[in-house]
Chain A
Amino acid sequence: MLLAALLAIFVSMMLILVRAFAGPSVCDRVLAVNMFGTKTVLIIAVGGHALGWTSYVDVALLYAMLNFVGTIAVLRFFESTLQEPPA
């Protein structure tokens, strides 16, 4: 079942990666990268558990925090350029 979960997360990561490359707007890419980061947390946790490396849970926790901070930082960075010009 762990292998099936790893496979499912991997397939979902590939689908997300297609959207991240093809996304028409910046927001699509930010959403896809955020989702990709959460899937990376999952794959680190599940893979570490499957291999018996318990210390990888710490890496997953740190990655979850960095993913959230990174998403918010990118959104703040693009906030000025994303503004719609006044019509």
Chain B
Amino acid sequence: MSLLLDILSGLCLAAGSLLCITGGIGLLRLPDFFCRLHAASINETLGTPLILLGLVLQTGFELTSAKLILIALFILATNPTATHAMSRAALHAGEKPVGDGHAQEESSSKP
């Protein structure tokens, strides 16, 4: 049972770490603010609870794991909210999504 929990926790930690690094690379390399927001928010909203879940599986049935679950739930609730607020502020500030004109051309050329 302990071995199974260790393997599951290791898998969760590895997946969360991979998502963290992917979010960092996406934040650095994507061309546009909205693309960066996409990469950052999605990777973070999944990766942070995965790492915290890995910690919960290692901790076991204690008060500390309840606090860790509370952090994960809080981040799951607040991270999309902050992302939404940032995207709305950027849109009001006049940030243009890359490739917007191309999409409009395609939609207007369709019958």
Contact = CB atoms under 8 A, between A and B. Distances in A.
Interface residues of B, number: 45
Contacts of B21: 8, 11-12, 15
A9 B92 CA distance: 32
A1 B21 CA distance: 15
A2 B95 CA distance: 39
A68 B90 CA distance: 18
Interface residues of A, number: 47
Given A12-B21, A26-B93, 6 more contacts: A1-B9, A7-B17, A38-B44, A41-B48, A49-B55, A68-B81
Interface of B: 9-10, 13-14, 16-18, 20-21, 23-25, 27-28, 33, 36-37, 40, 44, 48, 51-52, 54-55, 58-59, 64, 67-68, 70-71, 74-75, 78-79, 81-82, 85-86, 89-90, 92-95
